[in-house]
Homo-oligomer: A and B are copies of this chain.
Amino acid sequence: MTLIRRNGFAATSIDQLCTAAGVTKGAFFHHFASKEALGVAAAEHWLAMTSPLFAEADYHALPDALARVLGYLDLREALIAGDIDAFTCLAGTLAQEVHQSSPAIAHAADRAIVGHATTLEADVGRALADHGVVDIDAAELALHFQAVLQGGFVLAKAAGDPEPARAGVRHLKRYVTLLCKGERA
């Protein structure tokens, strides 16, 4: 499904998808009722595929919650490298493209993004609590992480360069550090 990330959902034909996957069109429509159904399934598959990558990461073993949050952001920054289509997010691409034409796909993309953010919520909440930050909602901040990443991806695509996306994550780390410790990283 890299094709969709590269060229977009509308610009990727079912024939292309079938050729790339080595199946025939008959097989495709046997498994998916329509192209839209494929989009929904792709968004769900995306969440299922990326989840273990973060679930099994090392930073979970750190004793300090803030360190775990910063560890997550370190990993995100490290993942932003090489070819643009390699680190970019399918859910964001889908959401931006079909938000009006296909509510079903948009909703699936939203679940993928929010679902991932939810996995951060506990650590973010504890990090904030550990440092006496009481006026910030952990879920909202975790979602903001995703916003910064998605925005970084957009800028990276426009510029043809991963650097703006990495810079965004660095700002995010500084923000979290300032929030919790009240001092510059």
Contacts and interface: CB of A to CB of B under 8 A. Distances in A.
Interface residue range, chain A: 35 or more
A6 interface: yes
A151 interface: yes
A141 to B, nearest CB: 7
B164 A106 contact: no
Interface string A126-163: 00000000010000110110111111111101111000
Interface of A: 6-8, 10-11, 84-85, 91-93, 95-101, 103, 106-107, 109-110, 113-114, 135, 140-141, 143-144, 146-155, 157-160, 164-165, 167-168, 171, 174-175, 178-179, 182-184
A25 to B, nearest CB: 21
A164 B148 contact: no
Contacts of A98: 8, 11
A85 B143 CA distance: 21
* The 8 residue pairs across chains A and B that have the minimum distance between CB atoms: A151-B151, A147-B151, A95-B158, A99-B157, A110-B158, A150-B151, A10-B10, A178-B178
For A84, A147, A150, the residue with the greatest tally of chain B CB atoms inside 10 Å of its CB is A147
Nearest to A137: B167
